[in-house]
């Protein structure tokens, strides 16, 4: 499990955050969405309560939508971050191509 205790945004009501703090907060929220997916899925797998399992898995799917929303927002706020993701995509594409040969 990721441990972000010291990385949580320190947002204060009524305060305007800098662009950099906004970007860092969005990155943190993306990680929190994936952590929620993991926790809900794990608990769904551990319970024998059919209703709880179904609801947890449904919410886990919604968290993936939230992650997508935050990622799209991050792309807008920090194109530099997105460039790094694209680098990662390209590196995997290269591996996929190598494995096809
Ligand atoms: Fe969420």
Domain assignment present for 2: no
Q: Which residues surround ligand 1, an ion (CB under 5 A)?
A: 33, 63, 66
Domain assignment present for 3: no
How many domains, the chain? 1
Distance between CA atoms of residues 20 and 80, nearest Å: 12
| Domain membership of residue 62 as a residue range | 19-100
Residue 2: what pLDDT? 58
Domain assignment present for 44: yes
CA proximity to 23, closest of 84, 81, 88: 81
Tokens 């950099």 sit on residue: 20
Domain assignment present for 60: yes
Ligand 1 centroid to 18 CA: how many Å? Answer: 23
Residue 73: what pLDDT? 98
Residue 17 DSSP code: P
- pTM, two decimals, is 0.84
Residue 12: what pLDDT? 80
Domain assignment present for 74: yes
What tens digit of pLDDT does each residue of 4-38 get?
A: 666 667 778 888 989 999 999 999 999 999 999 99
Tokens 């919410």 sit on residue: 59
Ligand 1 centroid to 31 CA: how many Å? Answer: 10
């Amino acid at each position: 499990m990721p441990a972000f205790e010291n990385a949580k945004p320190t947002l204060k009501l009524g305060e305007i955050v800098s662009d950099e703090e906004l970007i860092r907060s969005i990155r943190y929220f993306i990680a929190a969405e994936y952590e929620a997916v993991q926790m809900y899925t794990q608990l769904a797998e551990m319970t024998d309560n059919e209703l709880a399992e179904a609801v947890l898995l449904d919410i886990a799917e919604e968290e993936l939508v939230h992650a997508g929303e935050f990622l799209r927002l991050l792309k807008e706020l920090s194109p530099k971050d997105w460039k790094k993701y694209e680098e990662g995509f390209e590196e995997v594409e290269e591996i996929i191509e190598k494995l096809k040969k």
